[in-house]
């Protein structure tokens, strides 16, 4: 939960700063910071991947997982979920006079919660106690919250509550099934997560090539299953 609490804090601080300083943070500054975070994420993804004991395992998990993700249209589903939440929330708050607050709250909540890094980082935090991935996300979200709040107002600050509930729930669920996962499973799952982070940096942070990252999420669950199967078959990993 440490990573989630850190993430909540940076969103709140970034949102407050964005509300106070308005548009004083130039687009050039935001761009260079995000580029730096993108480069760092690439390095972190590579460092995470090379911890694999057998690179064929995350490769298999990635291929099978991505095929399942494409079949199930996970990326499309996540986007649809975001639009559905936005529409439902707009109806619930249609009578309120502060629609600006609602727009900031909903838009920021969706940005910070619906994404591979929120899920992957929370799982890693819950399984191993390693919150480094959520720490990276926290820095990114802090700057994003600052930019959002400068135009959408204080509602962005309150989106941190949704992050606390969402990521906290995933971490606690992962923690509860921790004993089911062996060390080998966690290592290979983390390795495939490093590859997904590389894709996230290339697609979203550096905007080099558009990649449907959400469709790779099943790899996080397929990879431990491959390890389990190899253990059952008594195949050396």
Report pLDDT digits (tens) over 35-51: 888 888 899 889 989 99
Nearest by Cα to 228 from 91, 57, 77: 57
**Whole-structure pTM value:** 0.79
Q: What is the mean pLDDT of residues 75-101?
A: 66
pLDDT of 92 strictly over 80: no
- Give tens-digit pLDDT for 102-143: 777 777 887 788 777 898 899 989 988 889 889 989 998 998
pLDDT exceeds cutoff 60 at 98: no
- Which residues does 26 contact at the CB level (< 8 Å), separation at least 6? none
- The residues near 88 (Cβ < 8 Å, ≥ 6 apart) are none
Contact 62, 218 (CB under 8 A): no
Distances (CA, A) of 213 to 24, 75, 115, 193: 32, 7, 8, 11
């Amino acid at each position: 939960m440490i990573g989630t609490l850190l993430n909540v804090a940076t969103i709140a601080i970034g949102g407050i700063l964005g509300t106070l300083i308005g548009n004083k943070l130039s687009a050039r500054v935001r761009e260079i910071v995000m580029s730096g975070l993108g480069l760092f994420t690439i390095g972190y993804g590579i460092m995470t991947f090379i911890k694999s004991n057998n690179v064929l395992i995350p490769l298999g998990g990635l291929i099978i997982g991505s095929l399942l993700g494409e079949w199930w249209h996970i990326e499309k589903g996540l986007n649809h979920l975001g639009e559905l939440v936005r529409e439902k929330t707009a109806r619930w708050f249609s009578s309120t006079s502060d629609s600006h607050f609602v727009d900031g709250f909903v838009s920021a909540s969706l940005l910070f919660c619906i994404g591979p890094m929120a899920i992957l980082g929370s799982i890693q935090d819950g399984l191993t106690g390693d919150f480094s991935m959520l720490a990276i996300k926290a820095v990114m979200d802090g700057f994003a919250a600052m930019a959002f709040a400068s135009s959408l107002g204080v509602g962005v600050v309150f989106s941190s509550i949704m992050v606390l509930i969402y990521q906290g729930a995933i971490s606690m669920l992962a923690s509860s099934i921790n004993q089911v996962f062996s060390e080998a499973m966690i290592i290979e799952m983390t390795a495939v997560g490093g590859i997904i982070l590389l894709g996230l940096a290339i697609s979203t942070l550096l905007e080099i090539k558009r990649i449907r990252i959400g469709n790779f999420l099943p790899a996080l669950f397929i990879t431990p299953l491959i390890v389990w199967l190899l253990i059952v078959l008594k195949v050396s990993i």
